[in-house]
Structure formats: structure tokens, C-alpha cells
């Protein structure tokens, strides 16, 4: 991967992606679906490409500021410094999304991205959620205007949250909706069974189940979240032990003093941070995923 990134960096410095860089870029986009860090990096990579294509030269004798930021990210990734890469990403001031790239993705990977948009709808954009809960994936994929709207709404929501909490003081945690159990599912299956978006999809269903169980959300909205996720298409089967998932969650670096912080929905478009979820309720949610997925494997 480091060699591929070097090739793309050289092409960008020369003014854009060459034929080989373009091929590597598309391969990396596919790989990004399986890695949150790489996905963030690919989003950042879109910025210097756009800047160089517009001949944004920066200061005389120096590369564009966006290219300098990209180089910092690249160096951090190559030395295995995830936090350093994320810190460098904070310096970006814009994002460019090439919707045309989606045409080359397998449908499964396309759906994996849509689950992240459902997440944005649940945490703060009711209109986006209501659109996606009724969406037909095959029709949506052919409608560039609608896809652009979904992406724009998702990016706006995330930008609003991040700009309100740039140093991850608390509010930014809401972006982890679906990720607490989602990350545990990925880890328990050695990151080979689920795409990241698929794990988050199951994690959102689990979070809605937990929220209903502890009285944070009514049954109607919890069911809507579950159905919206499942409406987007089949998900890989959940075949893990609930106690193993709980153990992974308790050992996660985000768990402090044995207290798990869950992002739980209160209504569609509104979530809260909860630190009082009993372990048994977490296990029950995982068992519910196993039950739901009994006929869901692709």
C-alpha cells in the first residue's frame, strides 16, 4: 500500500493522477471500505487532486498547502502513526467527492457506504433518514442527482459535528453511532467477514435495540431504524458469541474504567451518549442480531 500511495503522490505533485495512479486510486477506494483510517485518508486525498487540477500553486517554490497536508498524512500512515494521520487531516478546509467513482464499485460496497449515510440520518438529519428508509438501492445508484444529495447531506452533517468539536471533547462521539458493537464484530471476525459499513449497519440495529431496552427510544422509532438498515439490502450473517463481543467492547480503548459509552438514539435525528448500559443488555442485542441475520447471509 505504501508503494501505491507513493505513486499517487508523485502523480498529484505532477499535476494530477496518471494512468497508473488512477488505477491505484480506484483499487485503494475499494480497500478503503475495509479500513476506517484508509477511508479517511482517501477522503483527504481527493482534496490535493482537486487543487492540483485547478493549478493551485501555493507559495512560489512550494507545493500547494493541500499537497503539503497530504504528504504529512502519507508519512504518518507509512510509519503506522494513525493518530498522527488523523491530526494532519484536521488541517484540511474542504472536501471534494467524485461521484463518478461509485460507478465502479460492486453493489455490496455501494450499500456499505449508504449505511454510513443512514447513520448520519439517525444522529441528526431526519430528512435524510426518511429518504433512505424508502430508497431502492438499484434505482438510487442510477440517479446521480439523488446520490449527490445523499452525499452532500451526509458530509454536511459530519462537518457540522466535527466543526463543533474539533478536538473530540465529547459531541463528536455521536459520529460513533453503530460503531461500538460494529467495531467489535469486525475484530471478532478478524476484519474478513464484514465491510466496515456492514458492521456499522448491524451496530446501529444493536444500538436501537439497546436504546429501546433501556427506555431511551420508543418501539416505533427503534423498529424504523432496524427496517431502514435492512431495507438497503442483505447483510453478512452475524455468527459470533455475545460474550466475546462484550469482552472486546470492554477492552476497547474508548472504554474507560470498565464503562462503555454508547451512542443511543432518542428519536430519529437525535441521539445521546449513554454510559449506563448493562452488559446483559449488550449481550441480548448481539443475540438479536444473530436472530435477525439467520436468513440474511449473502
pLDDT one-digit tens code per residue, 119-155: 999 999 999 999 999 999 999 999 999 999 999 999 9
Higher pLDDT, 30 or 191: 191
Q: How far is CA 195 from CA 59, 175, 272, in A?
A: 41, 18, 26
- 36 and 114 together in one domain: no
Please give the pLDDT value at position 171.
83
Contacts of 95 (CB under 8 A, 6+ apart): 43, 46, 47, 155, 159
End residue of a domain, out of 77, 96, 115: 96
Asked if residue 252 and residue 145 are part of one domain, the reply reads yes
Range of the domain at 155: 104-295
pTM: 0.70
What are 263-290's pLDDT values in tens digits?
Answer: 999 999 999 999 999 999 999 999 999 9
pLDDT of 42-69, one tens digit each?
555 544 444 444 433 344 444 445 555 5
Average pLDDT of the segment spanning 83-102: 66
- What is the pLDDT confidence band of residue 101, given thresholds at 50, 70 and 90? confident
70 and 203 belong to one structural domain: no
192 and 126 in one domain?
yes
Residue % of the chain over a pLDDT of 90: 55
Residues 138 and 271 reside in one and the same domain: yes
- Is the same domain home to 21 and 81? yes
pLDDT at 64: 47
Count of domains forming the chain: 2
273 and 127 assigned to the same domain: yes
CATH number at residue 109: 1.20.1090.10
On whether both 246 and 264 belong to a single domain, the answer is: yes
The pLDDT value recorded for residue 70 is 59
Q: Are residues 164 and 211 in the same domain?
A: yes
Q: Are 144 and 31 in the same domain?
A: no
Amino acid at each position: 500500500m505504501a508503494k501505491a500511495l507513493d505513486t499517487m503522490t508523485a502523480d498529484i505533485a505532477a499535476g494530477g493522477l496518471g494512468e497508473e495512479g488512477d488505477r491505484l486510486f480506484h483499487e485503494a477506494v475499494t480497500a478503503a471500505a475495509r479500513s476506517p483510517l484508509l477511508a479517511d485518508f482517501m477522503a483527504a486525498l481527493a482534496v490535493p487532486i482537486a487543487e492540483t487540477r485547478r493549478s493551485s500553486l501555493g507559495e512560489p517554490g512550494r507545493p500547494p498547502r493541500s499537497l503539503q497536508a497530504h504528504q504529512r498524512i502519507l508519512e504518518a500512515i507509512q510509519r503506522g502513526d494513525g493518530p498522527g494521520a488523523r491530526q494532519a487531516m484536521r488541517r484540511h478546509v474542504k472536501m471534494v467527492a467524485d461521484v463518478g467513482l461509485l460507478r465502479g464499485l460492486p453493489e455490496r460496497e455501494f450499500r456499505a457506504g449508504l449505511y454510513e449515510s443512514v447513520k448520519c440520518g439517525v444522529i441528526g438529519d431526519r430528512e435524510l433518514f426518511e429518504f433512505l428508509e424508502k430508497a431502492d438501492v438499484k434505482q438510487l445508484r442510477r440517479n446521480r442527482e439523488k446520490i449527490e444529495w445523499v452525499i452532500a447531506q451526509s458530509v454536511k452533517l459530519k462537518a457540522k459535528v466535527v466543526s463543533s468539536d474539533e478536538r473530540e471533547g465529547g459531541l463528536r462521539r455521536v459520529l460513533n453511532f453503530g460503531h461500538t458493537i460494529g467495531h467489535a464484530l469486525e475484530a471478532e471476525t478478524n476484519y474478513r467477514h464484514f465491510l466496515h459499513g456492514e458492521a456499522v449497519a448491524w451496530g446501529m440495529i444493536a444500538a436501537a435495540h439497546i436504546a429501546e431496552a433501556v427506555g431511551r427510544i420508543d418501539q416505533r422509532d427503534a423498529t424504523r431504524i432496524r427496517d431502514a438498515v435492512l431495507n438497503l439490502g442483505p447483510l453478512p450473517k452475524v455468527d459470533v458469541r455475545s460474550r466475546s463481543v462484550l469482552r472486546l467492547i470492554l477492552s476497547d480503548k474508548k472504554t474507560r474504567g470498565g464503562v462503555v459509552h454508547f451512542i443511543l438514539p432518542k428519536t430519529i435525528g437525535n441521539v445521546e451518549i449513554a454510559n449506563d448500559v448493562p452488559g446483559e443488555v449488550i449481550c441480548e442485542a448481539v443475540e438479536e442480531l444473530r436472530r435477525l441475520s439467520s436468513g440474511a447471509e449473502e
